[in-house]
Structure formats: structure tokens, C-alpha cells
Amino acid sequence: MTEKGYAENFITSREMRALESNAEYFGLSQLQLMENAGHNVASEIATRFRPDKAVAIFCGLGGNGGDGFVAARHLTSLGFKVVVIVVGKAKEISHKSALENLNALQFLRERVQFYEVYESSFLPDVTAEIVVDALLGTGTKGKLKPPISLMVEKINRLNAFRIAVDVPTGVDSDTGEILGTAVKANLTITFHKTKKGLENAKDYVGELVVKDIGLPKEFENYAGPGDVSLATKPRPSESHKGDSGRLLIIGGSETFSGAPALVALSALRAGIDLVYVAAPEKTAYAISCMSPDLITLKLEGKHLNLGNISILKAYIELANAIVVGPGLGLHSETREAVKAVIETVEGAGKPLLLDADGLKAFAEFKRKLNVPLVLTPHAGEYSILTGTKLPEDLTQKAGEAQKTAAELNAIILLKGPVDIISSEKHFKLNFAGNPGMTVGGTGDVLSGIVGAFLAQQTDPFESAVAGAFVNGAAGDFVFEEKGYHMVATDLIDWIPRILNDPMSHAKVRKSSAKVN
């Protein structure tokens, strides 16, 4: 079984940010990670140079600068002569952990020489045998501007051994692009895993050393607040109706009207602009009565049938993503219609989520599709889909889900006490949620959240991981209020809270309930 993508050789800047956020959620603070990073830099220097050497550390105002502050403290304790150049006004440091480490360093002013450079005209005359670049870290985009660009040029002019912290300033850590100018390091000390851009900018990286900063490998496979940040997108001030996504839900039947309504309401709370619910005529009228926010398409007949395809085609082409299955029923005509709907979705090139009866109908003719596909089965539906029974062991279960994901070129969101989200190469486990969520309809809420992310053009795997976490976290907030007396609609109002502040769930998370 291949572990989540972070188990590959490289990690992107956005994945690293998400991992660090998740680590904090699971109890490993940014302050601890920064301490480990800075200590590693100091230790590497101490193994290569005698402590009578002078070290100049150029620090930015963010987390990379914080790593530099920690390194300065440790190097001073080891006997090195340390100069710290803060590029910018120290009072403008907003990174909490960096500020704490700067404050700790302030008490060593008798041994550490400080400069603040916030005007291009003031460039300190620094002489040192070792120079540490802790200006900007991973995720830097766009051409460098003064005073950072001037400091980079100064670092390159110094007759010293140059060490970059995590990534040389001016190198795009994801692509290796040089952002106008960049530090030409003799040694780059990067953390946790290397970054692709460092492979492509070897002339600036020099010798590359990868250091462990205490991030357990298991955290790479756990869903958390960082995954929500990956899935959510900023909304520009000039946005218009529909810019944040249109979702079409095809579901409902003479018997079931609540399921597609739950999907739709959840998608709206997840931030999508427009939701269309296509359902048999009487069911559609019932859904319309549930909320004025819902737009319904009245389909002829008591259940989905081939005669509905022509009207659905126009809305499939209009939508950014499609959810098929909630409350659909399994009439023989419906099963035929599901196949035709999927073919129409493929023709339109739109992402597709199959849930409940839609998934069961798909199981009869399952195949790889040429569009992004998310399947959201529980254990019983998974058995219908694959014809196999899942093992009890969580790791083996994840392996089976990955196997099915590979066979169908799909994302499998296997719902259970611990959700397993799998692609062919990646998997994540979602521990958010509680036994009260066995109540009917919580899976429909999940489909709405994931469908909304898909409609906002979020990567399907990231959509499924974030959706599972948000859904489970909403259920945990409801449990805190009502215990096991929850209903699915209770979850919907909590969705914005979690999207606005994913880390808030840490306050109600009961990790001991999900230890395997």
C-alpha cells in the first residue's frame, strides 16, 4: 500500500503548510516545530565549524525568520559570535512563534548584535565567516522586492559560507524558478522532506541536507484543519453569482425527498452559489417547500428515467459538478437512467460524485470514467460495489480502498467510524465524527460539502478529505450540544463555523475515542 502523497520524495509548499496546521491540531505546536528546525540549523553549523567563528543570520518577519532566531540562540549558547539582521521592523512580526523566539533572543543582547533593516538606504556592514539566510521560506511567489532583494544581493557578495534555511530566498520551492534574484547557498538545510524546486535550482541550493523536525509520518495520513485550507478558495470582491460554483443534484423519488434536500442545503452552507435539485415532479415540489433557497427541476415521472435525460443535459452542461444518487431509488428504469446520466456527464467533462442509490446503480456496470469521480460508500455499499467484504484492520481496509480507487480511477471516500479517503496512490484517515452520526442523512450532508468543493474546482482528493473532516467536525459540535440526540439537519448550521475556523474543532476533539 502506498502511503499518502507526502510519503513520496517531495512535498509542495501548500502540502507542508497543511501538514504543519494538522500537526498543531494533533498537539504538535508551531513553536515546537520552529524550535526543532532552528536547533537543527545550529547543530549542523556546529558539526562543520569551530565555535570561534562569526555567524551573521539574516531573518525575515515570518516563520523562516523564526527558525533563524532559534538558531541564533543555540549558536550563541555554543560560543559562536552571532549577528542577527532583521529585515523589516521587528514590531511588525505577526507570526506568533517567531515573535516568541525573538523575545527570548532579546535577553541575549549583550552577546548578540542586532540590526533592523527597513529602509533600502540602511545596509549594515557585516563581516562574518558564516552567513545564514532565514529571510523567506517555502511558498514565496513573485519577484523579490527591496529590502529583501537588496539583502539577497548583499548575502551573495559576502566572502562567507552561505547556509539557506529550508529554501534559498528567491527560489520558488515548488518550481525552482528564480524570483528575480536568489541567494546562492553553499548549503541548504530543508525540513521534513525535500521540495521539488530545490532539485531544479541546484546552482543556488548547493549541498542539500534534509532534517527531521519531529513531524510523525502518521500525521501525513490524517485529515485535519490543514486539509480544509487546501480545499477552500478566497472569494474575490468582484465576484458574481455563480462564480463560486454551480452544483446539480440528481436524486429523490416518490419515497425519498429529504436526502437531496440535505445535500443541497449542505452545499449552500459550504459556500457554493447555486444548487439545482433535479427530482421527480411531486418530490421536487416537496423539496421546494422545505426551503426558499432551493431551486428544483421538476422531472416527469415517479422516478428518474431515460425520458428525463434531455432536460438534465442542459443543466449538466451548466453545472460545475454533479451529485447523483441521494434518495434516487433503484427502479429498473432509474438504473438505466443513471448509466445515461453518467455518459452525459462524461460528455460534458464535469466532476461527478456518486452516492447511495447512484453508487449502487453504478456497481452494475462499473468502469473507469474519463471525468473526476468521487464514490462515497459505507461498508455495505462498498461490498455491493466490489463484491468483497472489507477487512476489520484499518490499514488493510485502507489498502483495499486504494486498490478499488486504482481499478476505477476514482476517489473512494469510505464512510465509517474512521473515514478512509483513497486515490490510487494516496490515502488519509479522518478521525472527526462520533457514533451519533449513524442517524440517517449525515452521509447526504457529507455529499453536499464534497460536491460544493468539487463545483469550486477543488482537486477531487482534497475535496473528499476536507469534506470528510468538515462533516465529522460538524457532528462533533452537535454531539457536544445534544449528545446522541442529533439529526442530520443539526450538522448543516455548523458547516460555516468549521470552514471559517477549522482549528476550532480541536476544542471538542476527543482523540482517545478514535485510537486504533
Residue 117 near residue 151, CB atoms below 8 Å: yes
CA 448 to each of CA 224, 233, 346, 472: distance values in angstroms, whole numbers, following the listed order: 19, 17, 20, 13
How large is the angle between the packed helices 30-48 and 63-77, nearest 10 degrees?
A: 50
Domain with CATH 3.40.1190.20 in the chain: 242-386+407-471
Quote the cell numbers at residue 225.
484543519
**Cα 359–364–365 angle (5° rounding)?**
100
Rounded CA separation 59/165 (Å): 10
Helices within 163-211 (DSSP H only): 196-199, 202-205
At residue 270, φ and ψ (nearest 5 deg) are -80, 0
The class of domain 242-386+407-471 in CATH terms is alpha beta
How does pLDDT run along the chain (516 residues), one tens digit per residue?
Answer: 333 333 458 899 999 999 999 999 999 999 999 999 999 999 999 999 999 999 999 999 999 999 999 999 999 999 999 999 999 999 999 899 999 999 999 889 888 999 999 876 677 788 899 999 999 999 899 999 999 999 999 999 999 999 999 999 999 999 999 999 999 999 999 999 999 999 999 999 999 999 999 999 999 999 999 999 999 988 888 888 887 899 999 999 988 899 999 999 999 999 999 999 999 999 999 999 999 999 999 999 999 999 999 999 999 999 999 999 999 999 999 999 999 999 999 999 999 999 999 999 999 999 999 999 999 999 999 999 999 999 999 999 999 999 999 999 999 999 999 999 999 999 999 999 999 999 999 999 999 999 999 999 999 999 999 999 999 999 999 999 999 999 999 999 999 999 999 999 998 875 434 444
Rounded to a whole number of angstroms, the CA Rg of the chain reads 27
Superfamily of segment(s) 5-221: YjeF N-terminal domain (3.40.50.10260)
Domain with CATH 3.40.50.10260 in the chain: 5-221
